[in-house]
Chain A
Amino acid sequence: MRSRRRLLAWTARRPHLPGYGLLAPGLAWLAVFFVVPILLVAGYSVMRRGIYGGVEVGLTVEHYRRFFEPLYLEVLGRTLLWSLGATVACLVLGYPVALAIARAKRWRQVLLVLVILPFWTSFLVRTFAMIFLLRDTGLVNRALLTLGVIDQPIQLLYTPFAVLVGLVYGFLPLMILPIYASLEKVDDTLLEAAEALGARPRARFFQVILPLSMPGVVAGCLLTFIPALGSFVTSDLLGGAKQVMIGNLIQSQFTTARNWPFGSAAALVVMGLVLAIVVAYLRRPDREALVG
């Protein structure tokens, strides 16, 4: 006890010590296993490709140049397009749900849990559920056949449509939750004041509710767009070989194509995009915290 007290008195005289002590292990870990690897990737992206797929000494920007060729730009463009499309779809589908939850009284907790649950349960399983639904012998085709709408299974899987649906399905909860958080904070008295000033329901929505929910909308769009940008599983399982997104491209460079530098360059471009978006978001004057 004596020695403990002496130790505590010693640390009390150095008020910065406990903070740094708590910080050090976690920060060191992240520095070694997060920051350094990313720097490594940055380094690889400007090195020459080795004969056996590794890297060789020698700086070059050929990989970046190659990335901006039409072939690969198309992949980037497709990825951006689909991510954007998925984000818009999530917004259209998610906003009403967020509104409903914010206005619900008795059911609110249940509704919230029902949104959170699917997102956190295995992404793989959910993607497979989509396969299960969309494949030629899947439920959708089965239902359409039984109803007589079609007489041959239509190709749903391995199409851009499937990837899009998969993306929306995967990230929809991430759109709903931030919007709900924003809507929940809208003060009822604001709406009452608007009504007293003569605003009809439609005006109240567009002039009061929608603008106030903007922080949540922006956050939701970011939380949907960014993961969609880097998504890999969805396009791989639901899109097959032909629907290639940037994530798939990067993956193939590190496995089958054995072109690490090129893969690194592509990865860095994506990382740069993500960082640019995040920084732009954090610089907004009226930002709400993204997490916590």
Chain B
Amino acid sequence: MRRRIPIWVMVATVAVYGFLHAPVAALMVFSFNDSRFSASWTGFTLDWYVRLLERNDILSGLGRSLLVATIATVVATILGTMLALAIRRHQFRGRRTVESLLYLPLVTPEIILGISLLGLFVAIGFPLGVTSVIVAHVTFCISFVTVVVVARLRGMDRHLEDAAMMLGADEWDAFWKVTVPMLAPGIVAGALLAFTMSFDDYVITSFVSGPGAATLPVVVYGMARRNIEPSINAISTIIVVVTSLLLLLADRLRRPAAAG
């Protein structure tokens, strides 16, 4: 739909974009501010970034977040891709129900995911720690991966594997030589999405991590509540930059497969 854009629409758009980006932009700018109490610019400094390196809680939180996100992403991507293939490529009874079930975790409020998993772990006596966090993250990441891969599969010609089979490739060869290369960008995009979701998660993690297994968001949350120094601006800036880059990459790869 392309027509002239009325002035008021343009003004509103600019204002909204400003609203969406100004807060974080300000946060990032002031991470370089040489004043502890912020809000007035007193000079440029990298002190707050240097401070980060001294904070063991942040560093270990970061390490744990990376570990959890990596493992959770790998598992969720494998399971999620398999589910996507099952839904789009195969007929089975109750397919509709399964599709709906798959998307349920996406609409379930995080708080409920958090408490329910806590309940499960306590009920079976599973200790809370890094492993429980990984399990929780896999659980909510699967659906993200599935959604992205399904979208990619939608654009794929169903006959590509058939064509490969007529040319002498059996199902295994056809899958690895034709389907996987076509799906790869979608799988990677889904993985990137899962990684980011896992890396950023606070609510669910806060319930299932227990003491001593704090991930970066948990640490940052504590800092935000207590409202301490601008190092929080610094770590926020780093998080924003890294995840933005990852997401730009994911967006590039997300487009559906081109027609054959």
Contacts and interface: CB of A to CB of B under 8 A. Distances in A.
Direct contact of A and B (CB under 8 A): yes
Interface of A: 4-5, 8, 11-12, 16, 18-20, 22-23, 25-27, 29-30, 33-38, 40-41, 44, 54, 93-94, 96-97, 99-105, 113-118, 120-133, 135, 137-139, 141-142, 169, 172-173, 183-184, 186-188, 191, 209, 226-227, 229-233, 236-237, 247, 250-251, 254, 260, 263-264, 267, 270-271, 274, 278, 282, 290-292
B221 A124 contact: yes
Contact of B38 (A137, A231, A278): A137
Contacts of B40: 142
A22 B111 contact: no
A33 B139 contact: yes
B23 A271 contact: no
B53 to A, nearest CB: 19
Nearest to B11: A96
A226 B16 contact: no
B182 interface: no
Most buried by B among A127, A132, A236: A132
B16 A97 contact: yes
A36 B113 CA distance: 11
B107 interface: yes
A8 B165 CA distance: 12
Interface stretch (B44-52, B54-62, B115-123): B115-123
B151 A271 contact: no
Contacts of B82: 22-23, 25-26
Nearest to A39: B116
A26 B83 contact: yes
B111 A247 contact: yes
Nearest to B200: A122
Given A135-B227, A191-B1, A169 B80 contact: no
A5 B120 CA distance: 43
Interface in B101-159: 101-113, 115-120, 122-123, 135-136, 138-139, 142, 146-147, 150-151, 154
Contact of B115 (A124, A191, A254): A254
A113 B142 CA distance: 24
A104 B244 CA distance: 23
A187 B111 CA distance: 41
Interface in B7-47: 8-10, 12-13, 16-17, 19-24, 26-27, 30, 37-40
Contact of A270 (B39, B112, B232): B112
A46 to B, nearest CB: 14
A100 B10 contact: yes
B39 A114 contact: no
Closest CB pairs A-B (n = 10) = A230-B109, A19-B90, A37-B116, A129-B23, A22-B86, A96-B12, A26-B79, A26-B83, A142-B39, A23-B86
A226 B107 contact: yes
Contacts of A11: 171
B185 interface: no
Most buried by B among A118, A250, A290: A118
Contacts, number: 268
Given A132-B23, A142-B39, A122 B240 contact: yes
A117 B8 CA distance: 24
A40 B89 CA distance: 33
B115 A264 contact: yes
B39 A230 contact: no
B119 A41 contact: yes
Interface of B is mostly: helix
B233 interface: yes
21 contacts: A5-B170, A19-B89, A30-B105, A30-B139, A34-B105, A40-B123, A93-B19, A97-B16, A103-B3, A118-B20, A118-B21, A122-B200, A125-B239, A132-B233, A142-B39, A169-B20, A226-B109, A250-B111, A274-B107, A282-B100, A291-B103
A142 B203 CA distance: 32
Nearest to A183: B1
A162 to B, nearest CB: 12
B247 interface: yes
A291 B217 contact: no
Contact of B248 (A16, A113, A173, A209): A113
Contacts of B79: 25-26, 29
Contacts of A36: 120
Interface string B194-214: 001000101100010000000
B236 interface: yes
Interface in B215-260: 217, 220-221, 224-225, 227, 232-233, 236, 239-240, 243-244, 247-248, 251
Contacts of B142: 26, 29-30
B58 to A, nearest CB: 13
A191 B4 CA distance: 12
A231 B2 CA distance: 36
B166 interface: no
